[in-house]
Amino acid sequence: MTQLADARFQAALSDRYIFDRVLGRGGMGTVFLARDVKHGRQIAIKALSPEVVADVGERQFSREIRVTAQLQHPHILPLIDSGKAADSLYYVMPYLKAGSLRDLLNEKKRLSVAEALNIVSDVAEALEHAHESGLIHCDIKPENILMSAGHAVLADFGVARAQHVEGRPWRAMVDSSGGTPAYVSPEQATGDHLDARSDLYSLACVLYEMLTGQAPFAGDSDQATIAHRFTKPVPRIDELVRGVPSGISLAVAKAMSVNPQMRFPSVGRFMDAVGSEYATPTSVMTRSSWRWSERLGILGFRLVHRFQSTAESKQGLKAATTPTL
């Protein structure tokens, strides 16, 4: 948005929100920090870029934002409001001062296996809930994973897409409809049909970065970064970092297969494969009905004392900050 467009947008919503400043800009749009006049709380407003608006369309945005608004999960940042103002589509999210996974990685470079699995477990639960509701996030990255009390909250579902719209699978191009070059799936980058396995690919890329301290793909430009996933094999995690179980490394590599058919069929199956590396024989025999997320929650409790248990987090999870672009 230009300064003139910013001013028009803010003026159109001035009766409801008092704008403070711009939090960030990017290809997807502009995020503003503002105060909700009625409730007196700080919120974040994301105004979509004209390119995204042209690609999504107002009717489709309204249809899919209604589905997104129904997502209720302790690891999903909720949607407060949405609409159109000054020809811009927008949605509103909570804003609290807390860091993202990107902030954590900037501070620590890479995470221990226990830390990484606790975070990816929370995000996987959020994604599984969204996928069961028929939504694909389309932009899984460290900036959209927010930290709260040692647990992760997945943010920026405002531009999530329905897996099927009017009976036809959705097609997306990374340059206009979401996705970040370092994490975007091959099929999203090329505009092919998407399903939940696209989010799985991106989640595996994030886990790869948490464990190695580097994104799996990098280039001198967005185009080069995207091209690398088709042309350069990614080194296995256990070849780069000591102490990472080979089973986790193999599971991540499978989830990052260029061909979606070669990946796990779901996020849950991926986490089953990752979590089995830490499930003791006793726990497998006596508690075989436990979900992968619960097993990984116990792992975090045993090995990383600064994390709370998954059960405790679901009862008292706090909202996190707003995502960056």
Q: Which of 6, 55, 139, 156 is catalytic?
A: 139
Residue 235 per-residue DSSP state: P
Q: Please, how many CA atoms are within 13 Å of residue 118, restricted to the half-sphere of its CB?
A: 27
Which letter does DSSP use for residue 278 in this model?
Answer: T
Q: What is the pLDDT of residue 52?
A: 78
Strand 88-94 vs strand 81-85: parallel, antiparallel, or unpaired? antiparallel
For this structure, is 220 an active site residue?
Answer: no
Nearest to 42 by CA among 96, 1, 90, 82: 96
* CATH fold group of domain 3-94: Phosphorylase Kinase; domain 1 (3.30.200)
User: Where are the domains positioned within the chain?
Assistant: 3-94, 101-316
10 CB-side CA count, 13 A = 19
Residue 299, pLDDT score: 45
- Specify whether the CB–CB gap between 51 and 176 falls below 8 A: yes
Report phi then psi at 20, rounded to 5.
Answer: -105, -65
User: pLDDT 10s digit of each residue in the chain, 325 long?
Assistant: 678 888 999 999 999 999 999 988 877 789 899 999 999 999 999 998 887 777 777 887 887 788 888 889 999 999 999 999 998 999 999 886 777 999 999 999 999 999 999 999 999 999 999 999 888 998 899 988 988 777 899 988 766 676 544 433 443 433 334 568 899 999 988 888 889 999 999 999 999 999 999 999 988 888 888 888 898 889 999 999 999 999 999 999 999 999 999 999 999 999 999 987 654 333 332 223 334 444 444 444 333 333 334 434 444 444 444 555 5
Strands ordered across the beta sheet of 29-36? 17-26, 29-36, 42-48, 88-94, 81-85
Neighbouring-strand partners of residue 17: 36
Residue 105's pLDDT is 95
User: What CATH architecture is 101-316?
Assistant: Orthogonal Bundle (1.10)
pLDDT at 207: 97
The sign one gets for the Cα dihedral 67, 69, 72, 77 is positive
pLDDT at 272: 93
Q: What pLDDT sits at residue 198?
A: 95
Contact predicate 194/154, CB 8 Å = no
Statement: the pTM of the whole predicted model exceeds 0.85: no
